[in-house]
């Protein structure tokens, strides 16, 4: 759910979309008659809209006619197609890190944490996910709720579902889920919802499918409001991590200084598939002690002073379920550590949890 990206799998999928396909989609939209843009979804064959609407109705959503009426309000936005066609960030870590690890964002996290301390510590204990990880996610996604997206979600999802062939099935599914969510899961009527150009919503930038699967009612009013209820937002992010397998008290990542003739590790990726013991044999001994049997993987970051080598573990992988970029995961984790530091707690890198008198964490 990066800067303005969606939660879950989207970012990774986006980065894999070829520019050629994206430009093809853009060409299609540009080729549409002006009138089509002006009147919304008119350029989509009526049969396709009707089939979609009938599918939503059959799945227990609003009636076919109601869905069609809402779709008629959707506006195709060439700016959405342009945004999604933009090549995914290929910045090296040394240029990516400064975007998120700013004093302003760290201080914003401290303010947010202090303001909602009781809630955050309670939710952290309940879900077994460190409070500063939850705070960091909200900070990276939306600057603590300040930038939640200015696109109409209906426009975003309709545009991408019906006019972006490379990812149409995914966005069609998300649009369908949006209609199925209903009033209990959305703070506003569908045609008034605002979000990212990819349709991600609220302080944690949840896609409709993530709201359906992971959103939680944190304040007990039997509704889920990811725009206005901080308890709902915090509980939902914590639940997202918990449900994706966050290991309470387990490490996230650990620096390594490889030996000169360290073996190349390939493939390497986000999934922890090599034991720490194996990595040590290959020339990557962690700086601090880690259980030799713990599963890990190697991450190499292009930093200011040359390459940085890291062993990453299951919890690093879990962060990446929010956004498939390893840079994203590292930024969230380091921001979380900095926030913990400013709170007078220290996020122990060997346990992945905050410790200290002020932490108040049960996780």
In the list 202, 219, 324, 327, the residue contacting Ca ion (rule: CB under 5 A) is 219
Are the beta carbons of 198 and 134 closer than 8 angstroms? no
Are the beta carbons of 124 and 134 closer than 8 angstroms? yes
Q: Which DSSP letter does residue 130 get?
A: -
Is position 187 an interface residue for Ca ion (rule: CB under 5 A)? no
- Write the secondary structure of 310-327 as one string of H (helix), E (strand) and C (coil): EEECHHHHHHHCCCCCHH
Beta strands in the chain (DSSP E): 151-152, 194-195, 253-256, 274-275, 295-303, 306-312, 346-348, 353-355
Binding-residue pattern over the window 220 to 239 for Ca ion, x denoting contact by CB under 5 A: -x-x-----x--x-------
Per DSSP, the three-state class of 153 is helix
End-to-end CA distance of the chain: 25
Instruction: Quickly count: other Cβ atoms within 10 Å of residue 38's Cβ.
Output: 10
Closer by beta carbon to Ca ion, 202 or else 251: 202
Binding range to Ca ion, per CB under 5 A, among 9-17, 144-152, 215-223, 353-361? 215-223
48 is catalytic: no
Closer by beta carbon to Ca ion, 228 or else 288: 228
CA distance 181 to 147: 23
- 87 by Cβ neighbours in 10 Å (0-12 / 13-18 / 19+) ranks as exposed
Is position 132 an interface residue for Ca ion (rule: CB under 5 A)? no
Binding range to Ca ion, per CB under 5 A, among 89-97, 106-114, 210-218, 245-253? 210-218
Is position 291 an interface residue for Ca ion (rule: CB under 5 A)? no
Binding range to Ca ion, per CB under 5 A, among 126-134, 213-221, 280-288, 354-362? 213-221
Closer by beta carbon to Ca ion, 8 or else 232: 232
For the bound state, the minimum distance from the C-beta of residue 363 to Ca ion, rounded and expressed in Å, comes to: 22
Of the listed 73, 89, 141, 308, which one is catalytic? 141
In the list 12, 55, 89, 217, the residue contacting Ca ion (rule: CB under 5 A) is 217
Is position 183 an interface residue for Ca ion (rule: CB under 5 A)? no
| Catalytic residue set | 141
Q: Which residues of the shown chain bind Ca ion in the complex (CB under 5 A)?
A: 217, 219, 221, 223, 229, 232
């Amino acid at each position: 759910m990066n800067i303005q990206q969606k939660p879950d799998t989207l970012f990774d999928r986006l980065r894999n979309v070829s520019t050629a396909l994206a430009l093809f989609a853009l060409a299609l939209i540009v080729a549409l008659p002006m009138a089509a843009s002006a009147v919304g979804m008119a350029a989509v064959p009526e049969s396709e809209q009707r089939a979609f609407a009938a599918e939503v109705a059959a799945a227990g959503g609003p009636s076919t006619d109601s869905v069609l009426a809402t779709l008629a309000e959707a506006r195709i936005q060439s700016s959405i197609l342009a945004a999604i066609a933009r090549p995914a960030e290929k910045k090296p870590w040394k240029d990516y890190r400064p975007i998120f690890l700013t004093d302003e964002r760290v201080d914003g996290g401290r303010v947010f944490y202090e303001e909602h301390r009781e809630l955050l510590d309670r939710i952290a204990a309940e879900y077994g996910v460190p409070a500063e990880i939850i705070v960091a996610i909200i900070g990276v996604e939306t600057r603590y709720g300040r930038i939640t997206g200015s696109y109409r979600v209906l426009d975003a999802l309709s545009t991408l579902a019906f006019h972006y062939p490379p990812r149409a099935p995914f966005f069609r599914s998300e649009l369908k889920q949006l209609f199925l969510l209903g009033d209990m899961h959305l703070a506003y009527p569908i045609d008034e919802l605002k979000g990212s150009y990819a349709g991600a919503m609220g302080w944690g930038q949840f896609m409709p499918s993530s709201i359906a699967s992971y959103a939680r009612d944190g304040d007990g009013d039997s509704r889920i409001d990811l725009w206005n209820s901080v308890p709902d937002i915090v509980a939902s992010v914590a639940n997202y991590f918990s449900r994706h397998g966050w290991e309470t008290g387990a490490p996230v990542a650990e620096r390594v200084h490889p030996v000169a003739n360290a073996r190349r590790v390939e493939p390497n990726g986000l999934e922890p598939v090599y034991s720490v013991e194996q990595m040590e044999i290959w020339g990557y001994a962690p700086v601090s002690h880690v259980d030799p049997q713990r599963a890990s993987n190697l991450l190499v970051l292009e930093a200011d002073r040359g390459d940085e080598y890291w062993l990453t573990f299951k919890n690093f992988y879990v962060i990446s379920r929010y956004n498939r970029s390893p840079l994203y995961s590292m930024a969230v984790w380091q921001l979380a550590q900095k926030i913990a530091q400013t709170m007078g707690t220290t996020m122990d890198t060997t346990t992945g949890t905050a410790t200290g008198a002020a932490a108040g964490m049960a996780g």
